[in-house]
């Protein structure tokens, strides 16, 4: 499939797909039998990878982390326990971020109270 169909099937823009390709997260293949264009073609595995990228980004993984995850996942470099350890580490990171955000929220609420009381 070409990038437009890939975009429709994944819900990602062609620009985003090209970014992931330039980042090395996915790879298109050229049809060597076609000499009139240099279009990349994508397979079903690319859809799976893009869904993994989208899901990983939505829960806070960085592009660098996703690259490491995909390399390990798709090349079977990690055991199940190692995969679980990676996910546990991300959960701890998210918990720490939640703690930071709660602290920020508390501070902003205090600033708001100060403004209401005309203390600042």
Residue 68, helix vs strand vs coil: helix
Residue with tokens 């902003």: 108
Alpha-carbon distance of 77 to 47, in angstroms, equals: 21
- Using CB atoms within 10 A of its CB, is residue 16 exposed (0-12), middle (13-18) or buried (19+)? middle
Residue 9 CB-density burial (10 A; 0-12 exposed, 13-18 middle, 19+ buried): middle
| pLDDT digits (tens), the chain, 120 positions | 889 999 999 999 999 999 999 999 999 888 777 667 778 889 999 999 999 999 999 888 899 889 888 888 777 778 889 888 888 988 998 899 999 999 999 999 999 999 999 876
Q: What is the pLDDT of residues 39-55, one digit of tens each?
A: 888 999 999 999 999 99
CATH number of the domain located at residue range(s) 1-59 in this protein: 1.10.1660.10
């Amino acid at each position: 499939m070409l990038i437009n169909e890939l975009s429709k099937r994944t819900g990602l823009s062609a620009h985003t797909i090209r970014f992931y390709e330039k980042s090395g997260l996915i790879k298109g293949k050229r049809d060597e039998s076609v000499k009139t264009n240099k279009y990349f073609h994508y397979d079903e595995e690319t859809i799976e990878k893009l869904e993994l990228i989208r899901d990983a980004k939505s829960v806070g993984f960085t592009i660098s982390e996703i690259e490491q995850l995909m390399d390990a996942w798709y090349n079977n470099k990690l055991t199940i326990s190692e995969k679980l350890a990676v996910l546990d580490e991300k959960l701890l990171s998210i918990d720490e971020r939640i703690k930071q955000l709660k602290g920020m929220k508390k501070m902003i609420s205090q600033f708001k109270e100060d403004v209401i009381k005309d203390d600042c």
